[in-house]
Structure 1
Amino acid sequence: MGCVSGKKKGNAENPVIRGPVSKPTPDTIPKGSENLPRFAVGPYEIYEEIVRLPYGVICKGVHASSKVVRTIKIIDSKPSDGISLNPKHLETELKSLKSLDHPNIVKIHDMFVLGNKFYVAMDPCDGLMLLDYISSQSKITESLIGRILSQILAAVSYCHSKRVIHRDLNPKFIYVTQTDSNNINVKVSEFGSSAFIDPENKFCGKMAPKNYTAPEVFENFYNEKCDLWSVGVIFHLLLAGNFPFTAKQGQNNSDEGLDLKTLKDRGFSDEALNLLSLLLEKDFRLRITANEALEHPWIKKALQGVDSSRDVRYALEELKKYKKVSVAQDLIKEFIASQIVCYDDSQSVIAAFQKIDANWDGRLSKDELLKHYKESMDEDTAQKVVQQIFETADRDKNGFIEYSEFVKASMRAQSLISFTNIDKAFKLLDSDRNLKISSEELKIILEDSSDNNLFKLIKEADKNKDGEIDFSEFYDLIKKNYSS
């Protein structure tokens, strides 16, 4: 079912949506979606509705020229329920959420406004929704649940470190991708109800479905730990197949208490039930944090069976070989790593990152890298290697290797900067499709980079001095100092 329909007339309130559009080639569209009707909105083609929200809809889509697959969220600033959203406030929050960079979070790549609607382009929601994934498994073990829960908690921990509260955690917005028996990747999506942490706990509104809503939310006095309650409800659902409490309209849904005895009688471990009780603590001031939950013995035990040593060795070897490149090359390589590289190409990198990131903060410190390099070399050599990595890979010089920086530096250059990826990057940047990239187009896409860095990029790439970058100049810039 399509999420939008073509109209012959439009205005500022209801802009014209062009469509249907020409069908992209089969190799660029997810299998099974080739013959669905498509409609063009901005630079994207939208072809299938995923889920409806109180304030909009989430659809499958594709970037029209590059054919990069995206999930498109359409937010109506004046929804039918009459509750208007502040466009400026919404735009500010979306820009902040765009900076979230973590392997367990669906990344926001692009956003634009047409009339009363905000369009947000995100990572494709690959894999299965959480409960569909669980239903597809022939055997559900505590170990599998622990691997899933650890990645949900990692996403929550990272968000809280960035002062973001999700406020709507539920299985509908959690996706699981599995490519083999050892590798799963969990991604948390849908930050439409998120808020930034208020030191005075002054929040209002019940965002999550009532079965997932923390008791303090009903009192309009809560903090980021409301997310941990929602994680606890999801945990109970995965263990027992039902909710821990019965939702009551407009009331605290935990009055009846948590029945741990029944769960114990069903054979669940004491450690699992202990973590569950800590997550579903009614007093949010006593409730466990995401970081504390990740250090819980049950989580650590669940992860013992995950062997990612091969992925770590591979990533560490590639990191050692990462060359110092120009600012321009580094910017574009990181753009490709964050915007284009898909899960199939980066699953081993994700596994390595999660293994090295010992404190689950979504970035790698020198000590975390040093620990792994010391396993294969003496400490002095390891120190020199790590120092060199930070000099070459830490583009923003904040003393940490962020996730996209890690992908950029630990993937083989032949894979990261293949002709296909360079072509897609150029088309993503060339927003007006005139076959050249201007400084204004670079500013829109690389908005976290300084004007000085963008000037360096154009100066280095623009060989014919016309003030813009054509594809040949773009390709030569990226491939410089690399053999094909």
Structure 2
Amino acid sequence: MRTEISIFERLQGHPNVVEFHGYFEDDEHIHLLLEMCEGGDLCEHLQQKGRLSEREAAQAIAAIIKAVMFCHERGVMHRDLKPENILLPYKNCSYMDLKLADFGTAADFSHGKIFDEMEGTPLYIAPEVLTRSYDEKVDVWSLGVLLYIMLCGYPPFNGESVDEIFQSIKRGRPNLTDYPWSSISLEAKDLVKNMLQKNPYRRFKLRDLSAHPWMQEYVFAGDELKTDMQAQALNSLVVGG
């Protein structure tokens, strides 16, 4: 809990990261005071709406990428990116307004440490987490799982048990041919494939994502947003990304 508080304090000031107002303690608990997000989480939203259009998915993943880039600039990897940890500030908000939350499993990677803890939610865990040797590149894998789910409505790696899910992740072969992938653009599939690259050194870096043609087509309609994302990409080179 103390680590989460210190990370929250480090990550304030970004529109796509839930705002932290402080904390207080009583005899039994530590209470965090966070921004109220009345629109629920992205998991609930997707359950109600179903899969997103390519434009909607691109806008949603762009907002989350901006938040994760901000975290990486400050040497923080999230390690548990999933729809339940992405909040809608109010109902019917723009997908560009999504907020990243829940830093309970986040970690400081600014000193170049290689991590071996098994952290995260099974469906979203990167292959290198299962071999207990990983760094901040795991966040890009989880973003790829998120994008996959937003586009088609189901996860790329699944199973009847956690062990089966892990075996599917280790194989690292997401299905991009079954319904509805035949109706999804080649550009979207290319981006998903590169985010879900099993080899973390061949996986797209955060700064590669906003430059991808699919993101350029569906997100960067205005120069202001494009400049903002490019500035974050340059800053993310300082620590990680």
TM over 0.5: yes
Residue in structure 2 matched with residue 226 of structure 1 by the alignment: 138
Please say if residues 176 and 184 of structure 1, whose CA atoms lie closer than 8 Å, have aligned partners that are also in contact.
no
Structure with the bigger percentage of strand: 1
- CA deviation map 1:397-436 (0-9, x unaligned): xxxxxxxxxxxxxxxxxxxxxxxxxxxxxxxxxxxxxxxx
1:261 and 2:177 are equivalent in the alignment: yes
- Structure 1 spans left out of the alignment, 5+ residues: 1-89, 310-351, 365-484
- CA deviation map 1:185-237 (0-9, x unaligned): 11010001100016554323322210111111111110111111111111111
1:170 and 2:82 are equivalent in the alignment: yes
1:283 and 2:154 are equivalent in the alignment: no
Q: Specify the code of the residue in structure 1 equivalent to 2:109.
A: I
Q: Provide the C-alpha distance between the structure 2 equivalents of 1:362 and 1:273, rounded to a whole number of angstroms.
A: 22
1:91 and 2:2 are equivalent in the alignment: yes
SS in 2 for 1:261: coil
Residue in structure 1 matched with residue 68 of structure 2 by the alignment: 156
1:359 and 2:230 are equivalent in the alignment: yes
1:132 shift after superposition? 2.6
- Bigger RCO (CA 8 Å, 6+ sep): 2
Q: Specify the code of the residue in structure 1 equivalent to 2:217.
A: K
1:181 shift after superposition? 8.3
Q: Specify the code of the residue in structure 2 equivalent to 1:359.
A: Q
Residue in structure 1 matched with residue 43 of structure 2 by the alignment: 131
- Structure 2 spans left out of the alignment, 5+ residues: 236-241
1:270 and 2:165 are equivalent in the alignment: no
1:102 shift after superposition? 0.7
Residue in structure 2 matched with residue 122 of structure 1 by the alignment: 34
Q: Specify the code of the residue in structure 1 equivalent to 2:162.
A: Q
Residue in structure 1 matched with residue 211 of structure 2 by the alignment: 295
Residue in structure 2 matched with residue 144 of structure 1 by the alignment: 56
Please say if residues 169 and 212 of structure 1, whose CA atoms lie closer than 8 Å, have aligned partners that are also in contact.
yes
Q: Which has the larger radius of gyration?
A: 1
Please say if residues 82 and 124 of structure 2, whose CA atoms lie closer than 8 Å, have aligned partners that are also in contact.
yes
Q: Provide the C-alpha distance between the structure 2 equivalents of 1:215 and 1:260, rounded to a whole number of angstroms.
A: 19
Residue in structure 2 matched with residue 249 of structure 1 by the alignment: 162
Query: Following superposition of structure 1 onto structure 2, how do residues 333-348 of structure 1 map, counting pairs within 5 Å?
Result: none
Q: Provide the C-alpha distance between the structure 1 equivalents of 2:92 and 2:82, rounded to a whole number of angstroms.
A: 25
- CA deviation map 1:36-91 (0-9, x unaligned): xxxxxxxxxxxxxxxxxxxxxxxxxxxxxxxxxxxxxxxxxxxxxxxxxxxxxx43
Query: Following superposition of structure 1 onto structure 2, how do residues 341-420 of structure 1 map, counting pairs within 5 Å?
Result: 354=225, 356-361=227-232
Residue in structure 2 matched with residue 112 of structure 1 by the alignment: 24
Q: 2:126 aligns with which of 207, 214, 233?
A: 214
Please say if residues 170 and 208 of structure 1, whose CA atoms lie closer than 8 Å, have aligned partners that are also in contact.
no
- CA deviation map 1:278-327 (0-9, x unaligned): 1101111221122211221111111145x6x8xxxxxxxxxxxxxxxxxx
- RMSD, aligned α-carbons: 2.9
Q: Provide the C-alpha distance between the structure 1 equivalents of 2:233 and 2:187, rounded to a whole number of angstroms.
A: 26
Q: 1:277 to 1:183 in 2, by over 3 A?
A: closer
Q: Specify the code of the residue in structure 1 equivalent to 2:206.
A: A
Residue in structure 2 matched with residue 404 of structure 1 by the alignment: none
SS in 1 for 2:133: coil
**Identity over the aligned pairs, expressed in percent?**
26
SS in 1 for 2:157: coil
Aligned residues between the structures:
230
SS in 2 for 1:111: strand
- CA deviation map 1:370-418 (0-9, x unaligned): xxxxxxxxxxxxxxxxxxxxxxxxxxxxxxxxxxxxxxxxxxxxxxxxx
SS in 2 for 1:112: strand
Query: TM-score, normalization: structure 2?
Result: 0.82
Q: Which moved more, 1:231-240 or 1:108-117?
A: 108-117
Q: Provide the C-alpha distance between the structure 1 equivalents of 2:144 and 2:51, rounded to a whole number of angstroms.
A: 21
Query: TM-score, normalization: structure 1?
Result: 0.43
Residue in structure 2 matched with residue 235 of structure 1 by the alignment: 147
